[in-house]
């Protein structure tokens, strides 16, 4: 399934009163926008991400945004629906499901994204929402002290969140309704106006929207209270045999032998996977991708690393850096080191500057030293988000 995510970040956030658009304000060392984009760019089921930015930011995009290969940007409009429409114009025709998410919701979880994808694909349209827990009053808004005119049964009231997900044709109809003059605060309303039923999936109370300065302060407090550093280590070893391709960090390296294993036996990826999973106390590569499961036969280890990184983020952690040591007698990996670093960085979802790769020999000692095997060690640091 091809899933495209649209991040609506075209507004200025005037209600917050900051000197810069609110999506560029930082929470725990990362901007609100970066946290929102990363949640989708690192999700294993999201194929690509389109970010609608204020026009003046298009020419001055943050470096982290330019470094994400699956992310593109468009100039947003005056209203949210204008920004989404501009982004929708660049959605690939082959997209099956399109998600729309407010950049101002930086704490969206992997599980919530999954629920929206599944429901949108099954029913055509879906939004995340949480049921009202307080008694809901209808009021006459005249004057400084509104008068209650009725009580609404709260069982029928849900508070909408994002993401909102749609089959591509449903969102196309919603965008067309907006361009025809319908004014709405979200795409679900436009889809309803276009005649489509929209389902509700279980939202997340933690998936808050940052609108005011108080919201921003609460978000900073939340991250600060959960901000801890954790370290994990990983190790992997495989025999070298003829007839196999030698893959290190997702890079095919010319050699007469390759590593023997159930997957492509990429020791750098396997060690890095165990390191980040271990840092988050999420088990090891064998627990998530066992060699007894035929799904992982000849699997690309760089993709397994990508899935593991998404699991770590879904558990509420940010991967800070990874250091990998590859141990083999030959060939030398120096000519391929930069490509290996980039491959690992892309899979993990961090800047290449945060990935270190070193090549060592075993000085002729044991199976690695005799050229019969290849090994790798890795260390990863993660922070609580």
Query: Does residue 327 carry a pLDDT above 70?
Result: yes
Q: Which of 79-83, 168-172, 225-229 has the highest mean pLDDT?
A: 168-172
pLDDT at residue 15, as a whole number: 60
Helices 32-41 and 110-123 cross at an angle (nearest 10°) of 60
Contact between 76 and 60 (Cβ < 8 Å): no
CATH code, domain carrying 280: 3.30.1330.50
pLDDT at residue 64, as a whole number: 82
Query: Does residue 161 carry a pLDDT above 90?
Result: yes
The boundaries of the domain holding residue 361 are: 229-384
What residues contact residue 338 under an 8 Å CB cut-off, 6+ apart? none
Distances (CA, A) of 45 to 3, 32, 376: 7, 22, 29
Per-residue pLDDT tens for 336-360? 999 999 999 999 988 899 999 999 9
pLDDT at residue 223, as a whole number: 78
pLDDT at residue 294, as a whole number: 82
Co-location of 112 and 14 in the same domain? yes
Listed residue (371, 285, 282) closest to 328, CA to CA:
371
What residues contact residue 106 under an 8 Å CB cut-off, 6+ apart? 27, 32, 33, 35, 36, 39, 210, 219
Phi, psi torsion values for 116, nearest 5 degrees: -70, -40
Instruction: Name the domain boundary from 226, 261, 279.
Output: 226
Per-residue pLDDT tens for 20-77? 778 888 888 889 999 999 899 988 899 999 999 998 888 788 888 877 888 999 999 9
Contact between 303 and 311 (Cβ < 8 Å): no
- In whole angstroms, what is the distance from residue 171 CA to residue 84 CA? 10
Helices 301-314 and 110-123 cross at an angle (nearest 10°) of 110
pLDDT at residue 28, as a whole number: 82
Query: pLDDT above 70 covers what percent of the chain?
Result: 97
- In whole angstroms, what is the distance from residue 195 CA to residue 197 CA? 7
Co-location of 212 and 233 in the same domain? no
Q: Which helix (DSSP H) or strand (DSSP E) does residue 55 occupy?
A: helix 55-58
How many helical (H) and strand (E) elements, i.e. helices and strands, does the chain have? Answer: 13, 18
Per-residue pLDDT tens for 237-287? 999 999 999 999 999 999 999 989 888 999 999 999 999 999 999 999 888
Co-location of 207 and 288 in the same domain? no
Co-location of 212 and 273 in the same domain? no
Co-location of 115 and 193 in the same domain? yes
- In whole angstroms, what is the distance from residue 53 CA to residue 32 CA? 13
Co-location of 108 and 158 in the same domain? yes
Phi, psi torsion values for 253, nearest 5 degrees: -110, 125
Is the whole-model pTM more than 0.85? no
Give the count of domains, the chain. Answer: 2
Name the more confident of 327 and 18.
Answer: 327
CATH code, domain carrying 191: 3.90.550.10
Locus of tokens 């970066």: 34
Residue 225: pLDDT band with limits 50, 70, 90: low
Co-location of 20 and 63 in the same domain? yes
Query: Does residue 385 carry a pLDDT above 60?
Result: no
Co-location of 251 and 186 in the same domain? no
Co-location of 103 and 116 in the same domain? yes
What residues contact residue 96 under an 8 Å CB cut-off, 6+ apart? 1, 2, 3, 121, 167, 168
Co-location of 272 and 193 in the same domain? no
Name the more confident of 372 and 62.
Answer: 372
Phi, psi torsion values for 258, nearest 5 degrees: -140, 170
Co-location of 109 and 210 in the same domain? yes
Per-residue pLDDT tens for 137-155? 999 877 788 889 999 998 8
The single-letter DSSP state of residue 332 is -
Instruction: Name the domain boundary from 189, 206, 226.
Output: 226
Rounded to the nearest integer, the mean pLDDT of the chain is 91
Instruction: Name the domain boundary from 226, 250, 279.
Output: 226
Co-location of 88 and 128 in the same domain? yes
Contact between 56 and 75 (Cβ < 8 Å): no
């Amino acid at each position: 399934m091809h899933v495209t995510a649209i991040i609506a970040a075209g507004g200025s956030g005037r209600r917050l009163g900051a000197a810069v658009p609110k999506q560029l304000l930082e929470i725990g060392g990362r901007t609100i926008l970066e946290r929102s984009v990363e949640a989708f760019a690192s999700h294993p089921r999201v194929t690509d991400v389109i970010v609608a930015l204020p026009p003046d930011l298009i020419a001055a995009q943050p470096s982290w945004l330019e470094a994400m290969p699956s992310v593109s940007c468009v100039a947003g409009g005056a209203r949210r629906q204008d920004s989404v429409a501009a982004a929708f114009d660049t959605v690939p025709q082959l997209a099956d499901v399109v998600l729309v998410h407010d950049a101002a919701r930086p704490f969206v979880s992997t599980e919530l994204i999954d629920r929206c994808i599944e429901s949108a694909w099954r029913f055509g349209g879906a939004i995340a929402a949480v049921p009202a827990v307080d008694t809901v009053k209808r009021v006459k808004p005249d004057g400084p002290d509104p008068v209650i005119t009725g009580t609404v049964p709260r069982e029928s009231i849900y508070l909408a969140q994002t993401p909102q997900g749609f089959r591509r044709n449903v969102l196309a109809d919603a965008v067309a309704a907006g361009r025809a003059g319908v004014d709405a605060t979200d795409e679900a309303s436009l889809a309803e106006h276009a005649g489509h039923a929209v389902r509700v999936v279980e939202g997340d109370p933690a998936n808050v929207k940052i609108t005011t300065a108080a919201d921003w302060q609460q978000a900073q407090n939340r991250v600060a209270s959960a901000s801890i550093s954790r370290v994990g280590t990983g190790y992997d070893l495989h025999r070298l045999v003829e007839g196999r391709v030698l893959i290190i960090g997702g890079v095919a390296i010319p050699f007469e032998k390759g590593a023997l294993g159930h997957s492509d036996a990429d020791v750098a990826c396997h060690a890095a996977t165990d390191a980040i999973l271990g840092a988050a106390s999420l088990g090891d590569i064998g627990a998530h991708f066992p060699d007894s499961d035929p799904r992982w036969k000849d699997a690309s280890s760089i993709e397994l690393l990508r899935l593991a990184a998404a699991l770590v983020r879904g558990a509420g952690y940010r991967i800070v850096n990874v250091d990998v040591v590859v141990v083999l007698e030959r060939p030398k990996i120096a000519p391929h080191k930069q490509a290996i670093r980039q491959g690992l960085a892309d899979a993990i979802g961090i800047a290449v500057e945060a990935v270190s790769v070193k090549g060592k020999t075993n000085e002729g000692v044991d199976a690695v030293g005799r050229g019969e095997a290849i090994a790798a060690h890795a260390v990863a640091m993660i922070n609580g988000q």
